[in-house]
Amino acid sequence: MSRDFQGLNRRLAAAQPSATYRIIDRVAARRAEGATIISLCAGEPDFDTPAHIRQAAIAAIDAGHTRYTQVAGLRVLREAVAAKFRDENGLQADWESTLVCSGGKQVIYNALAATLNEGDEVIIPAPYWVSYPEMVQLCGGHSRIVTCGADSGFKLTAQALQSAIGADTRWLILNSPSNPTGAVYSREELRALADVLLEHPQVLVLSDDIYEHLIFDRAEFHTIAQVEPRLAERTLTMNGVSKAYAMTGWRIGFATGPRWLLEAMEKLQGQQTSGACSISQHAAVAALRGPKDFIRESREVFQRRRDFMVAMLNDTPGIRCDMPAGAFYAFADCSALIGKVSPGGRGLFSDEDAAHALLDEASVAVVPGSAFGLDGYIRIAYALDDASLHAACEAIRSFCLKTK
């Protein structure tokens, strides 16, 4: 068949490829050509998966756990997931009210695909993680983007939520700590959002808690179904092992929520991928049931990196960066560079131009803020060793000093 054949699904044709993966792929291509790039674009911990988790996976292979599992996940993992939601989040979960998927992404996609009909709206506070609006598009829904700028700490206020909700609103997506800003919602902020949601019983809530454990300065993590238990019957609380246990490649995400929704998602998954990888599921049991020192240690490392990165960025002409409270991203305002000319002579007309010029001229890869729904910013992932982060900040600084 011709490469030009255009018989694509309309929803897919209208969707954008993943903005993060587009840049990750561009970095890989440049490296294959021999370039040395410091990549601050991939949102994944740079640590190895802890040894006891790797050992559990090897033991699972040796024990012959290499076959299909139940679609919804191994019972032993679902029990561990339910215990995690009960013990760490105060949610009323049992193993039957959980679902295991191939990564957090599949949890979100399954939830939207299982529920959205033509015309349904999904409220997405911006800046948002790049895949939310595209998943909504793929599932036939309509994204209602609510811009939450630096003045509101990049967070959705109760007032903004109230004005965005309409008769067609089906979902609200919350993500705290946030990718890309690192913003963390306090209990009071979630309480205020919950009060609005209680008045609108048709709205489901998707709480993407994947960065739960990466929270700094002794701030406390809260999730909305815990803050307002009356919302639990229409909240899908989603999490996974990727960020907490440095297990991005193992592809294990999970959720708890209303049974009708989990059953619909399981039905979809049964026709699509079946259960998640059996070996990864055994590894995830070891992660959830095993020692938690790794979580504390990695949090300390990320906090230290955050502190020097943000200080170095704020010492760079043309860049301004608020202190993120969680995750491992700095969302830096680069609007002062827009309208100027890069050291290599390129006109910088957008944050995308700035990100491209940084890659080509300073060999540092970042993701433009516009990919996350807010122009004039760049997202810098500080999930890399200290020396590389220092070198990247120096390269950004030298690029900015020569931008006129």
Q: Which is nearer to ligand GLU, 108 or 165 (CB)?
A: 108
Return the number of other C-beta atoms located less than 10 Å from residue 229's C-beta.
13
Q: How far apart are CA 389 and CA 381, in angstroms?
A: 10
DSSP 203-270: -EEEEE-TTTT-B-TT-----HHHH-GGGGGGEEEEEESTTTTT-GGG--EEEE--HHHHHHHHHHHH
In whole angstroms, give the CA distance from residue 201 to residue 247.
36
Measured from the CB atom, is 19 or 337 closer to ligand GLU? 19
Q: Which residue is nearest to ligand GLU (CB)?
A: 43
Which of 43/177 has CB closer to ligand GLU? 43
CB of 248 to ligand GLU, least distance (A): 7
- Residue whose CB is less far from ligand GLU, 115 or 131: 131
Nearest CA among 61, 44, 50 for reference residue 105: 44
- What gap in Å lies between CA 261 and CA 204, rounded to an integer? 10
- Quick one: 240 or 318, whose CB is closer to ligand GLU? 240
Residue reference for tokens 């989603």: 238
Whichever of 93 and 255 has its CB closer to ligand GLU, that residue is 255
Considering the complex, what minimum distance in angstroms separates the CB of residue 247 from ligand GLU? 13
Q: Which is nearer to ligand GLU, 22 or 340 (CB)?
A: 22
Question: Please, how many CA atoms are within 13 Å of residue 168, restricted to the half-sphere of its CB?
Answer: 12
Beta carbon nearer to ligand GLU, 42 or 184: 42
- Closest distance to ligand GLU from the beta carbon of 105 (Å): 6
Alpha carbon 274 to its chain's center: 23
**How many CB atoms within 10 Å of residue 88?**
17
Residues that bind ligand GLU (CB under 6 A): 18, 20, 42-44, 129-131, 179
Choice between 273 and 398, CB closer to ligand GLU: 273
| CB of 18 vs ligand GLU, minimal distance in Å | 5
Please report the sign of the dihedral spanned by the C-alpha atoms of residue 263, residue 267, residue 268, residue 274. Answer: positive
**Rounded CA separation 144/122 (Å):** 6
What is the H or E stretch that residue 398 is in? Answer: helix 386-401
* Least distance from ligand GLU to the Cβ atom of residue 44, Å: 6
Rg (CA), the chain: 21
CB of 43 to ligand GLU, least distance (A): 3
Instruction: Give least dist CB 45 to ligand GLU, A.
Output: 11
Would you give the DSSP letter of residue 151? G
* Residue nearer to ligand GLU on the CB measure, 127 or 318: 127
To the nearest whole angstrom, how small is the minimum distance from the Cβ of residue 21 to ligand GLU? 6
CB of 154 to ligand GLU, least distance (A): 15
- Give the nearest distance from C-beta 298 to ligand GLU in angstroms: 16
Q: Identify the H or E element spanning 53.
A: helix 51-62
Residue 123 burial (CB count, 10 A): 22
Structure tokens at 324: 């993120």
**253/238 Cα distance (integer angstroms):** 7
Assigned token pair, 396: 């950004």
